[in-house]
């Protein structure tokens, strides 16, 4: 039996705390883990491993509180993404690009995240991580240079875990709540293109959209339910997790996707930030600038803390016009859509492809709404609840 004593459980008052197993699948290379650190690490590793298997591309995720804030595969970034993710002029390897995308889609939620990589952590990824606020990382291996860089982070306390990529957990898993032990078969179902063959809508799903739908579904497999995920260009751009109503998931994730797109508006790209304003403060300012209709950030002389000159407000009409240009977005749901209102909301954020389990008594209404907007939808017949 292998055992690790933890700093504490979910909260500092929950001590003692430990993890143990016949064989632990990871090694601690640096730092001391907490309970939530390991929940994030083990869930995020499964996510990136499955993304790697499904797409054949290096994959990364940014986890917070046992759900992904972002997930992506290692595709190159264009000039706009380089700018909004603060990596202009930096040479990125494929695995570094995957993590930059995963963290960059929702930088506010990724603040203080746990990073997961499907492939070896290299120096490019470590250098990017070193400058960001992050609690830890899990990867199958590290180059010597990357390990040295990461060990210098957070005054030497940054948590670094090395996972055994060949480890397979037992088929049955257990959890104890209030003195009661729960047992179930592990959710080992594979998310593959075969999940997308049942397409009852008029529009069909092209091959280039299937990758993004698979990314959405695999991300949802490790997101607290109810959950919905918007994906474009190989990365999640909006994740709605842990909501009691599915339409609230769709709205929450859609709003995040809208903000991701609004950050690419020329007026946002050219905001006159002061040189001494740090990245987290820029993230906060941009979030308020694009999301706050009242423009509180610009009241009085507040803007002088952030900007060289007072920026012109981005009007509601400008926002609506820009968001209307977002297109080709893929949307996954971890269970069926009970009403067409989810599709109505998704359409407003450029969704053209949908994957959901199906099985609602109102499937016909959902299909009809998809056809109304020229959206292609696959019924996966797979529910992906995660708790």
Active site residues: 64-65, 226, 387
Beta strands in 119-278 (DSSP E): 134-139, 159-163, 172-177, 180-185, 227-232, 235-241
Answer for the pair 234, 216: CB distance below 8 angstroms, yes or no: no
Residue 120's nearest CA partner among 99, 89, 151 is 99
Structure tokens at 214: 């698979």
Beta strands in 242-343 (DSSP E): 329-333
Q: Are strands 235-241 and 18-21 parallel, antiparallel or unpaired?
A: unpaired
Q: Which helix (H) or strand (E) holds 69?
A: strand 67-73
What count of other Cβ atoms lies within 10 Å of the Cβ of residue 175? Answer: 10
Structure tokens at 362: 């109102």
Is the Cα dihedral 366, 324, 208, 85 positive or negative?
negative
Check residue 317 and give left, alpha or beta (phi > 0: left; psi -120 to 50: alpha). alpha
Q: Which residues pair with 172 in a beta bridge?
A: 185
Check residue 243 and give left, alpha or beta (phi > 0: left; psi -120 to 50: alpha). beta
Q: Which helix (H) or strand (E) holds 72?
A: strand 67-73
In the 8-state DSSP scheme, what is residue 105? T
Answer for the pair 148, 156: CB distance below 8 angstroms, yes or no: no
In the 8-state DSSP scheme, what is residue 311? P
Answer for the pair 186, 172: CB distance below 8 angstroms, yes or no: yes
């Amino acid at each position: 039996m292998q055992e690790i004593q933890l700093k504490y459980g979910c909260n500092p008052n929950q001590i003692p705390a430990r993890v143990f197993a016949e064989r632990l699948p990871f090694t601690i290379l640096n730092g001391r883990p907490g309970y939530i650190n390991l929940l994030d690490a083990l869930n995020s590793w499964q996510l990136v491993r499955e993304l790697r298997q499904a797409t054949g591309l290096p994959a990364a995720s940014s986890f917070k509180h046992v759900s992904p804030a972002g997930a992506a595969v290692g595709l190159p970034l264009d000039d706009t993404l380089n700018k909004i993710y603060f990596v202009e002029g930096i040479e990125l390897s494929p695995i570094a690009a995957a993590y930059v995308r995963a963290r960059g889609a929702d930088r506010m939620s990724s603040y203080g995240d746990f990073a997961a990589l499907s492939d070896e952590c290299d120096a490019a990824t470590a250098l990017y991580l070193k400058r960001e606020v992050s609690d830890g990382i899990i990867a199958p291996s590290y180059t010597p240079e990357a390990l040295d860089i990461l060990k210098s982070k957070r005054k030497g306390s940054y948590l670094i875990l090395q996972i055994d990529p060949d480890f397979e957990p037992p088929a049955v898993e257990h959890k104890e709540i209030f003195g009661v032990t729960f047992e179930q078969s592990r959710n080992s179902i594979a998310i593959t293109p075969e999940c997308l063959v049942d397409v009852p809508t008029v529009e069909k799903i092209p091959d280039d959209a299937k990758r993004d739908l698979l990314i959405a579904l695999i991300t949802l497999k490790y997101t607290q339910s109810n959950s919905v995920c918007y994906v474009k260009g190989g990365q999640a751009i909006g994740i709605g997790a842990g909501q009691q109503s599915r339409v609230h998931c769709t709205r929450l994730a859609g709003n995040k996707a809208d903000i991701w797109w609004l950050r690419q508006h020329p007026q946002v790209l050219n905001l006159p930030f002061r040189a001494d304003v740090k990245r987290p403060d820029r993230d906060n300012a941009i979030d308020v600038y694009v999301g706050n209709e009242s423009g509180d950030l610009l009241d009085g002389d507040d803007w002088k803390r952030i900007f060289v000159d007072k920026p012109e407000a981005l009007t509601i009409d400008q926002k609506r016009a820009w968001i209307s240009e977002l297109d080709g977005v893929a949307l996954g749901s971890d269970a069926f859509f009970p009403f067409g209102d989810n599709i109505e909301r998704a359409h407003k954020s450029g969704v053209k492809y949908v994957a959901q389990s199906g099985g609602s008594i109102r499937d016909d209404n959902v299909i009809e709404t998809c056809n109304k907007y020229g959206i292609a939808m696959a019924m996966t017949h797979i529910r992906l609840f995660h708790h």
